[in-house]
Amino acid sequence: MKAAKSEFQRTNPNLCGADDLIRLNDLTVHNKIGDTEVMSKKKLQRLAELETFPNVFQLQKELQGNWNRLVFKNSNPITLELACGKGEYSLAMARKFPQRNFIGIDIKGARIWRGAKTAMDEQLINVAFLRTYIDHLPEYFLQDEVEEIWILFPDPYVKKSKENKRLTSSSFLKRYQQIIKTDGLVHLKTDDNQLFQFTLETLMQQGAKIIFRTSDLYSEDLPDEILNEKTFYEKMHLANKKTIKYVKFILK
């Protein structure tokens, strides 16, 4: 049975693809009223500015397989930060590792604006931002184009009915396999024990190789210096006395 069209689809007949939800995300900002009007204008301004930022890419699928050639102008390894928000980790890694390329990925344009603006202000040429949904990654990257993936404090989607939305569910792991190099590393940091246990179980089912895991990251010596970097949300979780879980693995 053919699904009925939404009000948005009826009023915007030329926008029907999943990526067009990006435009829907932008259009809904126009509908804010009352106390949020000022915030909406600020968001609209930032969304407009994104179109002019040289380090932000939206709906540009021609970059698939061409990130190093067209964007970074080098052959350095590429690391992705998924659901990057304001790109704090991408920026930290770009500062620390100038011989690597970093791409922060998120659907929230106003958040990406902050990371992209900071990168331009600091003249960080080894970091870029891609505005898209995570499940569209294979449309923007070819097999073996990515060397490393970081997933930092993603939405745990606590309801079992939504576990397929978790960024470490089998459906997402299969997408990562389509773009990451053989023996490429994937990292997860989370404060959510349910998500952590779900991830470990899923990795076992998928035959992934777990390189390192801990249910209390800062109770022992860190296996990697970069783990000292903390995002806003991680600092908030630590301030609330939550323990940070971490796992590093290779998809097989």
Q: Report CA-CA distances (Å) from 79 to 39, 129, 140.
A: 32, 12, 14
Number of H-type helices and E-type strands within the chain: 8, 8
Give me 70's structure tokens: 């067209």
| Residue 20 annotated in active site | no
By the 8 A CB rule, do 155 and 94 touch? Answer: no
By the 8 A CB rule, do 107 and 56 touch? Answer: no
Selecting among 155, 183, 216, 224, the annotated active-site residue is 155
Q: How many CB atoms lie within 10 A of CB 101?
A: 26
Largest CA distance in the chain: 57
Q: Report the catalytic residues.
A: 155
